[in-house]
Chains A and B, each alone.
Chain A
Amino acid sequence: QITLKESGPTLVKPTQTLTLTCTFSGVSLTTTGVGVGWIRQPPGKALEWLGLIYWDDAPHYTASLKSRLTITRDTSKKQMVLTMTNVDPVDTATYFCALLTPENAFDFWGQGTMVTVSS
């Protein structure tokens, strides 16, 4: 059974750095074509793809946030970490991690974690 779970702070102050962790189980990221993506959803708004990392490749980011995002992996802990610098209230959203499978779709999702950016 494949599961993913996001964890991290629920409240972050503007200009601070947000760090979120995605812990997954039931899957090996060394499988070709398998990656972990980060997607966010502001309250009442649409999904937005943030970035993706494969086992054997550098991370990839959405162009609009590339300068503020870093995705790293710790395969021994089966974790992926998303770091977003200089957060702003517009970054308030539910952040999801999701498994990209060889079917080229985000087939498994975490429950999401709500992050509020406010002073």
Chain B
Amino acid sequence: QSALTQPASVSGSPRQSITISCAGTSSDVGSYNLVSWYQQHPGKAPKLMIFEGSKRPSGVSNRFSGAKSGNTASLTISGLQAEDEADYYCCSYAGDSSWVFGGGTKLTV
């Protein structure tokens, strides 16, 4: 499996909104509604922010939302806050019990 494609970096000002894209193929993102998004602060383990494309785990702010169109998934963060500055990774089911991560996006607020 090839890694999903994410922009290396995005930036935004406080209170603005940003969107991070995650481009896959018809074998992964396009075939399954099983994209998840993870936030990772330096030196920490990833934290689940979105699962099954657009669902938020309990405790995750509703400023985080996910969507999918064709072979591309996206994560939108609205009302940016300083604490949102982190690396973000998408992950998709790729069939046959396999998973693939994206290359990661560094968000600067």
B64 interfacial contact with A, CB 8 Å: no
Number of interface residues of B (CB under 8 A): 26
Chain A contacts for B46, CB-based, 8 A:
47, 96, 98, 106, 109
- Contact count band on A: 20 to 34
Q: A-B pairs with CB below 8 Å: how many?
A: 67
Question: Given A46-B89, A52-B97, A60-B97, do A106 and B102 touch, yes or no (CB 8 Å)?
Answer: no
Instruction: For the complex of A and B, list the 7 residue pairs with the smallest distance between their C-beta atoms, beginning with the closest.
Output: A105-B51, A105-B36, A60-B97, A109-B45, A47-B101, A46-B104, A49-B99
CA distance A48 to B3 in the complex (A): 8
| Nearest opposing residue in chain A for B46, CB measure | A109
Is the C-beta of A90 less than 8 angstroms from some C-beta in chain B?
no
A111-B45 in contact given A49-B91, A63-B1, A106-B91 (Cβ < 8 Å): yes
Which of chain A's residues 83-113 have a Cβ closer than 8 Å to chain B? 96, 98, 103-107, 109-112
Across the interface, which residues of B come within 8 angstroms of A104, CB to CB?
34, 36, 51-52, 93
Residues of B within 8 A of A45 (CB): 104
In residues 29-88 of chain B, which contact A (Cβ within 8 Å)?
A: 34, 36, 38, 40, 45-48, 51-52, 55, 57
- A binding-site residues for B, Cβ under 8 Å: 37, 39, 45-49, 52, 54, 57, 60, 62-63, 96, 98, 103-107, 109-112
Other 16 A-B pairs with CB < 8 A, given A47-B101, A104-B52, A105-B34: A45-B104, A46-B101, A46-B103, A46-B104, A52-B97, A57-B97, A60-B96, A60-B98, A62-B98, A63-B98, A96-B45, A98-B46, A103-B51, A104-B34, A106-B48, A109-B46
